[in-house]
Amino acid sequence: MTETPLRPPPRYHLEEGLAVTCMALLVLITMGNVVSRYITEQSFAWTEEVSVFLMILMTMAGASAAVGRDRHMRIEYFFEDGNGQPKRGLGMFGALVSSLFFVFLAMLFARLVFDDLQYGETSQGLGVPKWWYSIWMPALCLVLALRAFGLFLRYKALK
């Protein structure tokens, strides 16, 4: 796989730190649940709820860093086969579509947060308000959209 001729991407310490923190918490929660199940033959009811939230958070944070580095998923056959303008055009198109997609997704998640707040839904495991979990999704989608738009601008700057 050849590298794209983009200038070096900026660092993504916030997204990487969030993803690493989520992974560490997942390991600790899972290990605690396994030990508890082994000793008491019962598992913690809340671990699945928190683990699902952490996995989603980790995925979004990792995806944001990957998009910013131009390491996101794409059909490499078409992208790597091109050079110069076709490659630049495909990169710009992919980044712009990704940016628009995540803006749209942020709007849908904002609607979900609004519904969670309006109807006062609570989670099944812990009984906490569901918006505690869903409030992060629109924000992370907007960060992803901004990272994709930044990639679009980096492709656009190529000559």
Check pLDDT > 90 for residue 139. yes
Closest to 30 in 3D by CA, of 11, 41, 43, 15:
43
**Per-residue pLDDT averaged across 90-118, rounded?**
94
Which backbone phi and psi does 122 adopt, to 5 degrees? Answer: -120, 160
Contacts by residues 96-104 (CB-CB < 8 Å, ≥ 24 positions apart): 96/148, 96/149, 96/152, 98/67, 98/72, 98/144, 98/145, 98/148, 98/151, 99/145, 99/146, 99/148, 99/149, 99/152, 100/145, 101/145, 102/141, 102/142, 102/144, 102/145, 102/148, 103/141, 103/142, 103/145
Residue carrying the six token digits 């989520």? 22
Per-residue model confidence as pLDDT tens digits over 5-49: 566 566 778 888 999 999 999 999 999 888 988 898 887 778 888
Check pLDDT > 50 for residue 130. yes
Token pair, residue 115, equals: 């519904």
* pLDDT above 70 as % of the chain: 86
